[in-house]
Amino acid sequence: MLKKQTFKKMKKLLLTLTAVAGLTFASQAQEFGFKKTDFIVEGNLSANTTNNKETEKKTSTFNFNPSVGYFVSDKVAVGLDFNIGNSKNTDYSATADTYVKNNNFGIGAYGRYYFLDLSPRFKTYAQLSAGYNQFGGEINNGTTTTDIAKTKGFGAGAGLGVNYFVTENIAINFGLTNLLSFNSKKVDVDGAKSSNEFNANINSFNNFFDTAKFGLTFKF
């Protein structure tokens, strides 16, 4: 009887050790990161609606920023990104509603270099990007609707970001800050002049998360 009990205890111990060893091996076998020929899909989505019944004004906004990328080496990716958005501000305090509606569309390209692993799950990158944007919309005064002249622009920037891997194929993307950026835009009418803007945020090393953008990264 004693031998049977001892055998059962040893059997349970061996099974437990086998299970622990298997879990340890599986954990160690996981590889967090990217390699050449990987595809990534990323995106940020935001939507907001407010309705102030005291002032009788409504606002709604929507923005979607998808991107796709391909790794040409273990540390370098190139890709395309898109920007789709619209907003509407409505005033219903008068007899007839009035509103201002805006929309925008953008397309760009980027190059990304992963230069530092903060941990097996944290991958830090630097990114260069450039893109084209177009803005437009309409104004309604309660009786007539007037188109807003289109504005076309070009932008380029250099920034930093971090991927945190939740699983081997899914990561949270933190677009931390733009260190350098240049933007030029012009209203699409005869005689219009362009407006240019250049920003250098070198001191933003102290406040990365003031301008952070969060999204998901899917690896294939």
What is the model's pLDDT at position 1? Answer: 52
pLDDT digits (tens, 9 = 90+) for 178-216: 788 899 999 988 888 889 988 887 655 545 555 567 789
Ramachandran region, residue 140 (left: φ > 0; alpha: ψ -120 to 50; beta: rest): beta
Calculate the CA dihedral of residues 13, 15, 19, 24 and round it to 10 degrees.
50
Top-confidence residue, 177 or 22? 177
Choice among 132-141, 145-154, 165-174, 187-196 with the minimum mean pLDDT: 187-196
Residue-wise pLDDT for 70-125, tens only, equals 999 999 999 999 999 999 999 999 888 999 999 999 999 999 999 999 888 999 99
Closest CA to 165 of 52, 38, 23, 3: 38
> Against a cut of 0.85, is the pTM above it?
no
Q: Encode pLDDT of 60-73 as tens digits.
A: 999 999 999 999 99
Nearest Cα neighbor of 41 from 171, 181, 218 is: 218
At 149-165, the pLDDT tens digits run 999 999 999 989 999 99
| CA pair distance 108, 140, nearest whole angstrom | 32
**Residue 16 is which amino acid?**
T
pLDDT-based confidence at residue 20 (cuts at 50, 70, 90): very low
Domain 34-219 falls in which CATH fold?
A: Porin (2.40.160)
Looking at every residue in the chain, the average pLDDT score rounds to 84
Task: Return the domain boundaries, the chain.
Answer: 1-30, 34-219
Q: In the structure, what pLDDT confidence band is assigned to residue 175 with cuts at 50, 70 and 90?
A: confident
